[in-house]
Structure 1
Amino acid sequence: MRAIRNSNVCVLYQTADLAYVWAENLPDIWVDVWHVGVYDHELMQESMAAKLGVAKRSVLETGEPQSVEIAVPHGDQLRWFELSIDCDRDDDNATIGVVTTAVDITELKRREQVLKTLLREVSHRSKNLLAIIQSIAMQTARFTGTVDDFLFKFRGRVQSLSYSQDLVTDSNWRGAQFRELVRSQMQKYVDVSDPRFTLSGDDPYIFPGAALHIGLALHELIVNSTSYGALSNGQGTIAISGKLENIGTERMSLVIKWDERVPGSFKETDLNARFGSAVLERIVPISVNGTSTYHIEPNGVSYSLDVPRSQFDL
């Protein structure tokens, strides 16, 4: 009995009428109310006492050990105990009492609850990610004419998702900082230290779902630029900015701007190829509950995405 005093184990003894006779290493929640002759219903809620009573009477009648988990209110929380119940016999092998070993498993229960919450969150996020991929696949198929073209565009967009997802995961699912999100999408195509590329403005945390979609928008702009714009000839410039507007009001938002300038002018075929991007004009704005504008001019491209306050943190 002395050996368990430094553990979370408690041992209690009851006579055949289930009145307590002695206890060793009582948990603090029972120290003030326990006494010789006390019964379970005086130590805990009636529902828990009834559950224990059924198990203990079974032990007395059959001699077979029982195991029960109970929850006991303690302040605004619950304390959980795993109880192992055994019968006590005299020299004539007659059952004369019940020995209960109680182990405090509160911390284990809390860990189980955290794990269940995390698993539900992972499941929810996985479903969201699969829905995004399905949407990308459908939209990519609608605007491509060949299998090879579809595979090229689809792989690029999925890879863009993976870059953004890495940032979200590294932040423990908080999201991704705006500038880091831009750099992660740009680094495959351009040296971010190149003076022809500038990144300025505010740097809020973009929440996970919005980060994935904004990453897609950036990817779309970058791919277009490598095919027809500043990144195709090495002579143009790209300026990306993020600016918080209407700070301190309900209309607060993050305005992301892409300004691409190309010396000379685009060919007519290039202009036609860049029009009508479903990702930039429909999928991303709808997904972040925002709005966008997309303009293609003879010597450049401008894109603006207005992201509401609900999609980012300062």
Structure 2
Amino acid sequence: MKGRFRFFPKASIGTYLIAMALATALPIFALVALLLAQLEDNQRSTLRRETAQDATALARSIDRQLQDMATTLRLLSNSPELENNDFASFHARTETSLRTDNLYVIAVDETGQQLLNTRRDYGEPLGKAGNLPSVEAAIKSGRIEASDVFMGRTSGEFVYNVTMPMQAGKVRALIITQNAGDLAKLVTTEGLPNDWSAAVIDQSGHVVASAGATNIGFGQPFNPDILPSLVNFSGVYENKQVLPNAMLGYAQIPGWSWKTVIWGPVATAQSSILTTWRFLIIGGLALMLVAILAAYIVARQVRTTIRSIADMAIRMGEGHIVAPIETSVIEANQVAVALSNASFDRSQTEDRLHFVMNELVHRTKNLLTLVQAMMRQVAKRADSVEAYQAAVVDRLEGLSRSIDLLTSEQWAGASLRRVIDIHFKGFPQAAEQTEISGKDFVLKPDVVQNLGLVLHELATNSVKYGALSVPHGRVRLSWRDAQNEERNEPLVVFTWEERDGPVARAPENSGFGTTIIKNHAAAAFGGTVEIDFPPEGFYWALTAPRRNLERA
């Protein structure tokens, strides 16, 4: 042992604390000195990287807006009103739903003639779509495209279109249009150095929207000397003749023909870095002196505390019952209390262990009862040992997910959304084909298990026979609050609705799955279950008192 500590001589705790403060501070200041020597070289490369990252971040923001518009087009393209050429109904529904987002929908035929335009009241005379070449290009390519910025005939402002080619009735293309001024709200210089600017550029090199010190107007051409050099997916452009003492970062918006650019003077970006490092050195030196003084003061206090704890331990070792001492060190007080209460720990531990064992036995019995009931139901309807084994394993896996979730939550219940997510992990297609809505709340532990079984059966049936068995099928899982007027009691209504899948048909025989989603669900939650098989898709609804579901 002596050899192990030969480099650490005997010394007071104060000496070691001061030495520790110096050993910590000196390497830090040595590193600061090295960083300052390299700062001039490194700060420019850091600025290049951050400029490219800022341009990419802006590109992602604009991409999210364009993708949202494209998603809206895909949803609208499935409207039955378009197939039936019921443009009046489509106009009324679409104009109301998109009004708050300042988005407008245009439907055109194969000649580019507008069939409807939600900027205008339905029935008003309409001409051909503005920027017709972009519409024709989208129809020819067969994919969703964003147009260049142009002056809108109807709005009288600069606008841009996102066009989706389609074939539904007379409609050959569906367009969402938005004022460039609304898109400009996403273009911000927040987080950029002073006097820096940002812009979105369309395929023809015109500015769709911009912000910052160099605010370029809508539809104005961007610097033609710079654009030919922006050939990579993202990067940084520097040219002392074109952009003296400045830097420009750019990024291609993925999947679109637009670019984003960030540019500004290098000096404003670097000044804050140098100032920060100067303050760091001055403040660091002052802090080191304060740390040494504080280490000395703390050492004196800690030394007194340690001696008091040592005296208490000696008296306890002699067989005395001692009361905990009170010191200015919280941890030392905790040690004193722990030593004082040591004689009582064993009985408390034994009581706790007994409680845990009883709780474990209770929960194990409940789980075994549930598993036995499940296995009996499956056995009644299994045609073979293999079918019986597969059915039992599948349902045990679903039950296991609920138990894992409850275990992670200390068996105190779990949120409804987490129950849905953990059971849908076993069905990869559910993530993209299922729409989930409803206000989340925390379920009781037994509800987590029973609802998990029900959700597992609903998803399994859908994958085998319903909407999740085909790529274009959709499932809507939702829940909402309701009220039992007779008992003045709050209720929760769960619904599972399928569409765009195979034609729904009622099963000839009622199997274990039907027993779970109907009889078991109604009994477990003290509610009622409604099941229907309309041609457009299977429908299931559970209405149950909220007090039976929600954890108090």
Deviation (angstroms), 1:230: 0.7
Confirm or deny that 1:281 pairs with 2:518.
yes
Residues 36-47 of structure 1 aligned to structure 2 (within 5 Å): none
Take 2:481 and 2:519, find their aligned partners in 1: how far apart are those partners? 22
Question: Which of 377, 384, 393 is the aligned partner of 1:139?
Answer: 377
Query: Could you say if the C-alpha distance between residues 162 and 237 of structure 1 is closer, same or farther in structure 2, counting changes exceeding 3 Å?
Result: same
Corresponding residue for residue 291 of structure 1:
528
Take 2:411 and 2:521, find their aligned partners in 1: how far apart are those partners? 20
Take 1:7 and 1:239, find their aligned partners in 2: how far apart are those partners? 70
What whole-Å deviation, never above 9, does each CA across 1:221-246 have from its counterpart, x for those lacking one?
11111111111122211011132334
The 3-state SS of whatever aligns with 2:436 is strand
Aligned residues: 225
Corresponding residue for residue 492 of structure 2:
254
Deviation (angstroms), 1:274: 7.1
Q: Which segment drifts farther, 274-283 or 174-183?
A: 274-283
AA aligned to 1:210 is V
Confirm or deny that 1:272 pairs with 2:503.
no
With normalisation by structure 1, the TM-score equals 0.62
What whole-Å deviation, never above 9, does each CA across 1:213-268 have from its counterpart, x for those lacking one?
11111111111111111111222110111323349x972333222111134624x5
Take 2:548 and 2:350, find their aligned partners in 1: how far apart are those partners? 31
Take 1:188 and 1:157, find their aligned partners in 2: how far apart are those partners? 12
Residues 16-55 of structure 1 aligned to structure 2 (within 5 Å): 24-25=320-321
Contact 1:10 1:27 in 2 (8 A): no
Residues 123-202 of structure 1 aligned to structure 2 (within 5 Å): 123-194=361-432, 196-202=433-439
Deviation (angstroms), 1:176: 2.0
Contact 1:183 1:192 in 2 (8 A): no
Confirm or deny that 1:204 pairs with 2:450.
no
Take 1:180 and 1:297, find their aligned partners in 2: how far apart are those partners? 30
Take 2:419 and 2:315, find their aligned partners in 1: how far apart are those partners? 48
The one of the two structures with greater contact order (alpha-carbon pairs below 8 A, sep at least 6) is 1
Contact 2:417 2:440 in 1 (8 A): yes
- Root-mean-square deviation over aligned CA pairs: 3.1
Asked which structure has the greater CA Rg, the reply is 2
Corresponding residue for residue 76 of structure 1:
none
Contact 1:202 1:244 in 2 (8 A): no
What whole-Å deviation, never above 9, does each CA across 1:62-89 have from its counterpart, x for those lacking one?
xxxxxxxxxxxxxxxxxxxxxxxxxxxx
Deviation (angstroms), 1:144: 2.6
Question: 5+ unaligned residues in a row in structure 2: which ranges?
Answer: 1-308, 325-339
Give % identity. 24
Deviation (angstroms), 1:295: 1.7
Take 1:137 and 1:168, find their aligned partners in 2: how far apart are those partners? 22
Deviation (angstroms), 1:115: 2.2
Query: Could you say if the C-alpha distance between residues 244 and 189 of structure 1 is closer, same or farther in structure 2, counting changes exceeding 3 Å?
Result: same
Take 1:298 and 1:157, find their aligned partners in 2: how far apart are those partners? 28
Deviation (angstroms), 1:296: 1.9
AA aligned to 2:406 is V
Report runs of 4+ in structure 1 exceeding 4 Å deviation.
6-12, 273-276
Deviation (angstroms), 1:210: 1.2
Corresponding residue for residue 466 of structure 2:
229
AA aligned to 1:124 is H
The 3-state SS of whatever aligns with 1:243 is strand
